[in-house]
Amino acid sequence: MSVAKMIAAVGYGQEAEQLVRQANYIARCHGAKLELVHVVEALNVVAIPEAYGYIEIMPDAAKSKAIANKRLENIVQNAGVKEKGSKQVLRVGIPKNEIIDYAKVIHAKLIIVGSHEKSFAEKILGSTANAVLHKSPFNVLVTKMNTTNKQTNIDIKKYKRILLAIEFMPEIEGVVEQAKEWAKNHNAQISLVHVINRSPILQMPLSEFEKEFVEKVNWQYKQLINNYDLKPTSHELILGSPAREIARYADMHNIDLIIMGSHGKSGLGLVFGSTANAVFHRATCDVLAVRLKD
């Protein structure tokens, strides 16, 4: 499934400029149409009687949108992206809802969101990137923002080493095909990893049953590589915590992009997360979550 249309959720400041440059790079690699979406958050204002001496000055909606639009134009200009290369869209409302709603309107295949390291509380309560990752029916690419380096000429991260995190599931074909497409469009190498979930507490040798299970999974792993004509530079089968081991493998092998499948979550799933969500928080590189049908 080719990425014909994609949107990038743009905020403000230097991070926004990084995101615009990265999204523009991705769009060029895929020959896709890019739309930059900025959401002005709607505010509920409680009126205070004038007798109390408080004067509330709130800009009207038109003025707020005009200011936001000017900021967005400046971000695009500072990012060095030609205006004709991407469409700029301004929406008013709750960011996560407006981003997903607009992606539905234009039938986008990919949503690009930026993220940087959050506090523990923000990880639990979620961010816009986290909310979009969970709620979007489309593929979501989370790109990690550089908040320390001021040099703009290194903001673009080229995806030359891609890690496909394999999970054996009925929808695996869609994830594999996405990985192959991204590798082709970015002229990248693919590595594969599959993690068998085994508690780190269990340091004892594998039981006979576990050995048989590992052998069976390893056989399935090799069959999958052959069936989908994958030619990975490396493929490994690891025992441990999936999210931890995937992120660790990516760090050890200088991976630029992790690709994995992800189901949408709600309720407790939003709080406790999924493997994709855990990788999103642990990984230092970008993560592409390929949406699977629930």
| Mean pLDDT score of the chain | 81
Q: Choose the final residue of a domain: 105, 137, 157.
A: 157
d(CA 247, CA 283): 5
Same domain, 50 and 101: yes
23: CATH? 3.40.50.620
DSSP 68: H
**Are the CB atoms for 72 and 36 separated by under 8 Å?**
yes
Among 92, 122, 157, give the residue marking a domain's end.
157
Q: Check whether residue 67 and residue 135 sit in a common domain.
A: yes
pLDDT of residue 213: 86
Strands (E), the chain: 5-9, 33-40, 86-92, 110-115, 139-144, 161-165, 189-197, 234-240, 257-262, 286-291
What sign has the CA pseudo-torsion 128, 7, 176, 158? Answer: negative
In the structure, what pLDDT confidence band is assigned to residue 122 with cuts at 50, 70 and 90?
very low
Q: What domain count does the chain have?
A: 2
pTM of this prediction? 0.84
Task: Kindly state whether residues 29 and 48 are assigned to the same domain.
Answer: yes
pLDDT band at residue 200, thresholds of 50, 70 and 90? low
Q: In which element (H, E) is residue 244 found?
A: helix 242-252
258 DSSP 8-state letter: E
Verify that 120 and 200 share a domain, yes or no: no
Confidence of residue 60 (pLDDT cuts 50, 70, 90): low
184 with 63, same domain: the answer is no
For residues 171 and 84, the model is more confident at 171
Q: Report the pLDDT value the prediction gives residue 51, as an integer from 0 to 100.
A: 53
Domain-terminating residue out of 157, 185, 211: 157
**Contact partners, residue 89, CB within 8 Å, separation at least 6:** 7, 35, 36, 37, 38, 102
If asked whether residues 171 and 99 sit together in one domain, one would say no
Amino acid at residue number 215 = E
Note the pLDDT of residue 214. Answer: 87
Residue 81, domain extent: 1-157
Are both 7 and 109 inside the same structural domain?
yes
Residues 90 and 183 in one domain: no
Of 175, 155, 153, nearest to 166 by C-alpha is: 175
pLDDT at 113 over 90: yes
pLDDT of residue 124: 43
* Same domain (yes/no): 150, 173: no
One domain for residues 42 and 136: yes
Report CA dihedral (6, 174, 179, 143) to the nearest 10 degrees: 40
Q: Do 127 and 174 reside in the same domain of the chain?
A: no
Region of poorest pLDDT, from 15-24, 51-60, 63-72, 86-95: 51-60
Q: 170 and 285: one domain? A: yes
Sheet arrangement for strand 161-165: 86-92, 33-40, 5-9, 110-115, 139-144, 286-291, 257-262, 161-165, 189-197, 234-240
Task: Give the DSSP letter of residue 291.
Answer: E
Contact (CB, 8 A) for 76 and 86: yes
CB 261 within 8 Å of CB 290: yes
* Model pLDDT, residue 15: 84
Whether the predicted pLDDT of 18 surpasses 70? yes
